[in-house]
Amino acid sequence: QKEVEQNSGPLSVPEGAIASLNCTYSDRGSQSFFWYRQYSGKSPELIMFIYSNGDKEDGRFTAQLNKASQYVSLLIRDSQPSDSATYLCAVSKGTGANSKLTFGKGITLSVRP
């Protein structure tokens, strides 16, 4: 089982719809969970991070974490064509100076105008 798994894509949604991106992880000791957006040919940029079970909202983005199910998701409301990108899920393990990120393969989202 891979450490961080994301749905195979691509995912296509119409403009204005809710896009739901899912991620599972294998290490129950994982502590923090991150969602990055990466446009083609560019470097990743952090959208959201979450530490605690439940939901965390920031504008049109909501991250959801369920540690019991080892599941983290990202919801994008009112999807826009500019949201079309690859979304990477990442999980941290270790503490302090030894904490490191493990990334999933990413899922490509296409928002249709």
Partner 1 sequence: DGGITQSPKYLFRKEGQNVTLSCEQNLNHDAMYWYRQDPGQGLRLIYYSQIVNDFQKGDIAEGYSVSREKKESFPLTVTSAQKNPTAFYLCASSYGGLETQYFGPGTRLLVL
Angle, CA of 50, 4 and 79, to the nearest 5° = 60
Residue number with CB closer to partner 1 (43 or 113): 43
Write out the two tokens for 13.
């949604």
Candidate list 12, 14, 46, 66; residue touching partner 1; CB under 8 A: 46
Write out the two tokens for 1.
């089982």
Write out the two tokens for 41.
């040919």
Q: What's the closest the beta carbon of residue 98 comes to partner 1, in angstroms?
A: 8
CA dihedral 7, 98, 44, 106 (to 10 degrees): -10
Would you tell me how many other CB atoms lie within 10 Å of the CB of residue 90?
A: 22
Candidate list 19, 24, 25, 34; residue touching partner 1; CB under 8 A: 34
Q: What's the closest the beta carbon of residue 24 comes to partner 1, in angstroms?
A: 14
Q: Rule CB under 8 A: say whether 106 interacts with partner 1.
A: yes
Task: State the Cα–Cα distance between residues 35 and 23, nearest whole angstrom.
Answer: 10
Residue number with CB closer to partner 1 (21 or 90): 90
Candidate list 13, 17, 20, 49; residue touching partner 1; CB under 8 A: 49
Q: Which stretches of the chain bind partner 1, using CB under 8 A?
A: 4, 32, 34, 42-46, 49, 88, 90, 92, 97-106
